[in-house]
Structure 1
Amino acid sequence: MRMRRAESLGAVTAVVSIAAALSATGAIAPAVAQSAGLPEGFVRLRERDPSIRQDMRYAGPFNFTGRRVPGYLAGECILLRPVADALARAQARLLAEGYSLKVYDCYRPERAVRAFVAWAQSPEPDRMAPIFSPAIHKSQQFALGYIAKRSRHSLGIAVDVGLVRADEPDLPTPREAGPCDGPFAQRARESSLDMGTAYDCSAAASATAARVAPAARANRDRLVGALAAEGFRNYRLEWWHFDYGGPTPPLRVWDFPVK
């Protein structure tokens, strides 16, 4: 989502490197060559695994700020290569079960992180609150840990991701919606699967272990299980946020634009 306190970079100083592994079955395609225009080590997920659906929310106005976020010039998921490879392996696992991943945010430029902080501190009205934060005023975002000044997304190792049925039609980015923690039929149309809340929802029900309907619980468990098997760790307050815990190149905060 935005920048939870638990996303703080903390002691992230890994200095290990990786040679991307292929799946034992050969179902995962070999890693693509260096993506054009990206720093060494980064790839566009679309080039790594085009079957993973994308709805990159911060490249457009349907997000909690109500406008395109600085640094997002295109709706492209960009990740460090080992993270993209792991996500592709999770996708193969889910496709075999009739499901597919759908990403909402991946690498996030540092300028976007600063823009989120400025938005939270500004006096401008929170016009998207009825959708994304129905019960939490923007003035409470820092105190409650919904906004922080650093994000693992800017390292290229974090992804916001949901789950859809593999055979369902691709849905366009919503334009309007009811409260993100309201009844399923009134929330943003993101998937035919109920995940308990919509994506990027500032509400207690977004916590991964929150009490939700049985179908939503099963969907969350399936998502967490598939990603955990490939080295991802879920952030407990957001069912959609995952950090990759496997080996990566040396980590640093980046600010190149998404394009």
Structure 2
Amino acid sequence: MKLNIKIQILFLLFSSIFIACQNKKSNYNEHEINNEIVDVQEETQEVENEELDTIKPIIEEKDTVERNSTYNSKPARLISDIEAYKNHIEKNPKHKLIRLADHNSKIKLVPRYYGTNNIFDRSLYSMPEVFICIQIAESLSAINQELEEDGYRLIVWDAYRPYSVTVEMWEHIRNPRYAATPQKGSRHNRGMAVDVSIEKLDGTKVEMPTDFDDLSREASPLYHGISHEARQNRDYLIAKMQKHGFTVLSSEWWHFDYKGWSYVPLFDISFEDLLRIEKEQYLKISKKIK
């Protein structure tokens, strides 16, 4: 009897030791797994921070060969031949690129990529012209009319941009956060995007968050760390643009894309060629009238 009791006591003792060891092992494994998750999260955060650190105004580093070949490939819907452009706008008259000054002389045109007053410190355009898709011109005129009623007017910094200029910009900036890649092109290449601001009718400047092509966080239309006046002016402009079919870019308060932009192909037609085409069409109309 005593022997059986001793055996039972020993069995209970060994069982307790075994269970305790298993619990300790279980806790240790769980701690190891949690540490692995934390390490992965920390490494991911470090990678994200490194990526954020590479976002600088002008990128000096070269991409890998693989990224270069991807980014540098041309988009499928690109029209660079003059005759092809003429044929396209004949079939799609709403895609025609027109000279904005001929459509509305009240809108102030300040083409920033003509001259040196831009982030590239040199002229990217051969002449101080602003071309735009004809369907946008009507909306800009309506916006400017509303602005005039409040004592303001629209300033256009950039509109249609030849695809070759987008490629040139990419060669200098080489970061898709700040420049359109040659692979995708820009909505500016379609004549379906505008860079705009406002001023008083007498030419007095109004306070805005940043200057054109500012690459800081203050340029975001969602940024709140600016003066009350700058925020009011920015939001006023955005509201007017949105009312007439435009959407503001999340990183640039001055950049607006027009609805239906994806239906328009990219163009690489120079300003000189566009003026030449306009002149040809004007002469044809003149002959018909005579």
Q: State the aligned residue count.
A: 179
SS of 1:208's equivalent? coil
Q: Normalising by structure 1, report the TM-score.
A: 0.64
SS of 1:240's equivalent? strand
Aligned partner letter, 1:43: I
1:223-242 C-alpha deviation (Å, 9 max, x unpaired): 01111111011001111000
Counterpart Cα distance in 2 of 1:50 and 1:103: 12
1:169-223 C-alpha deviation (Å, 9 max, x unpaired): xxxxxxxxxxxxxxxxxxxxxx611111111101000001212110001100110
Q: What is the match of residue 45 of structure 1?
A: 100
Aligned partner letter, 1:230: H
Q: Shift in Å at residue 95 of structure 1?
A: 0.7
Aligned partner letter, 1:148: A
Question: Does structure 2 conserve the Cα–Cα contact (< 8 Å) formed by 1:41 and 1:249?
Answer: no
The 5 Å alignment of 1:198-209 reads: 198-209=211-222
The 5 Å alignment of 1:21-170 reads: 41-69=96-124, 72-121=125-174, 141-142=175-176, 145-149=177-181, 150-168=185-203
Counterpart Cα distance in 2 of 1:226 and 1:198: 19
SS of 2:155's equivalent? strand
Aligned partner letter, 1:119: H
RMSD (Å) for aligned C-alpha atoms? 2.4
Counterpart Cα distance in 2 of 1:249 and 1:61: 31
Question: Does structure 2 conserve the Cα–Cα contact (< 8 Å) formed by 1:75 and 1:258?
Answer: no
Counterpart Cα distance in 2 of 1:120 and 1:222: 31
Q: What is the match of residue 197 of structure 1?
A: 210
Counterpart Cα distance in 2 of 1:195 and 1:44: 27
Q: What is the match of residue 231 of structure 2?
A: 217
Q: Shift in Å at residue 120 of structure 1?
A: 2.4
Question: Does structure 1 conserve the Cα–Cα contact (< 8 Å) formed by 2:95 and 2:134?
Answer: no
Q: Normalising by structure 2, report the TM-score.
A: 0.58
Gaps of 5+ in 2: 1-56, 58-76, 78-88, 273-290
Aligned partner letter, 2:255: H
SS of 2:196's equivalent? strand
Question: Does structure 1 conserve the Cα–Cα contact (< 8 Å) formed by 2:107 and 2:144?
Answer: yes
SS of 2:237's equivalent? helix
Structure 1 residue aligned with 2:253, among 239, 243, 253?
239
Task: Determine which structure has greater relative contact order: mean sequence separation of CA pairs < 8 Å that are 6+ residues apart, divided by chain length.
Answer: 1
Question: Does structure 2 conserve the Cα–Cα contact (< 8 Å) formed by 1:195 and 1:219?
Answer: yes
Gaps of 5+ in 1: 3-12, 14-33, 122-140, 169-190
1:30-81 C-alpha deviation (Å, 9 max, x unpaired): xxxx9xxxx9712111111111101101111221111111xx2211111111
Q: What is the match of residue 269 of structure 2?
A: 256
After TM superposition, the runs of 4+ consecutive aligned structure 1 residues lying more than 3 A away are none
Question: Does structure 1 conserve the Cα–Cα contact (< 8 Å) formed by 2:95 and 2:135?
Answer: no
Larger Rg: 2
Aligned partner letter, 1:151: S
